[in-house]
A = this chain, B = another copy of it.
Amino acid sequence: MKVIELHKSVTESNDRDADKLREELREKGVFLINLMSSAGSGKTTMLSRTITDLKDRVNIAVLEADIDASVDAERIAALGATSIQVHTDGMCHMDAGMTREGLNNMDLDGTDIAFLENIGNLICPAEYDTGASCNVMILSVPEGDDKPLKYPLMFKSSDALLLSKIDALPYFDFSMEKLEERVRYLNPDIKIFPISAKTGEGMKEWEDWLLEELATWKRG
């Protein structure tokens, strides 16, 4: 398993560099999705299921970003999907330059969608444009329905929210109604998909939306 060690980008303006990366990826025909969440919300499990469900329809590659370890990239690679692990030298987010460096180390020929599995926390990743054309976040039921109150920027910056581990709803004091009200207050247009990657519930709705977003992006 190849592991890339990243260091802080020296680019003057990350926003400008992110726009540049978006253009480069459009030329390559790769739709980049920035996937953000707290640690342990089920990003890799969700991705694994999505890759398996859609394997006859789209080619998905995954750029795994972590402080340390490469367990996630190994799980994705075991599915036969293109994946690479990058380490962020202790940094709590990915920026556009770091994302480009990771992608440049991957063979993206024939790739339709590349997921950037961002560093696991609800704060720093929301502050940096990675060059992705779509931002998706995951919140898991055990984390609680009060998270939009505490981490508003992440909810504001996302095009879609996957509410994961809904199979655990009976065991937690979690109000779907309160969550939705708090999320919509911050971001009226966000798509919300309650899912369980374990039972498969809700996965089809999310995957249909993903394919539609890809089609819309391809039309430019």
Q: B-contacting residues of A (Cβ < 8 Å)?
A: 38-40, 66-69, 71, 90, 92, 119-124, 127, 140, 142-144, 146-147, 149-153, 165, 167-168, 171-172
Given A90-B127, A142-B165, A168-B142, residue A38 in contact with residue B121 (CB < 8 A): yes
The docked-state distance in angstroms from the alpha carbon of A62 to that of B143 is: 21
Number of copies: 2
Please report the C-alpha to C-alpha distance between residue A25 and residue B92 in the assembled complex, in whole angstroms. 30
Given contacts A40-B143, A67-B151, A69-B150, 5 further A-B contacts (CB under 8 A): A38-B39, A38-B40, A67-B150, A68-B149, A92-B121
Q: Min CB distance, A131 to chain B, in Å?
A: 21
Task: Give Cα A68 to B38, complex, Å.
Answer: 16
B69 near A122 with CB under 8 A, answer: no
A150 B92 Cβ-Cβ under 8 A = no
Complex CA gap A154/B2 in Å reads: 25
Select from chain B the residue with minimum beta-carbon distance to A91.
B123
Residue numbers in B under 8 Å from A124 (CB-CB): 92, 121, 123-124
B38 touches A150 (CB 8 A): no
**Can you give 12 A-B contacts (C-beta < 8 A)?**
A38-B121, A39-B147, A40-B140, A40-B147, A67-B150, A67-B151, A69-B146, A69-B149, A120-B122, A121-B123, A142-B142, A167-B171
With A66-B150, A67-B151, A69-B150 given, is the CB distance from A39 to B143 under 8 Å? yes
CB pair A39 B122 closer than 8 Å = yes
A198–B172 Cα gap in the complex (Å)?
A: 10
Task: Output the residue of A39, A121, A143 with the most chain B CB within 10 A.
Answer: A39
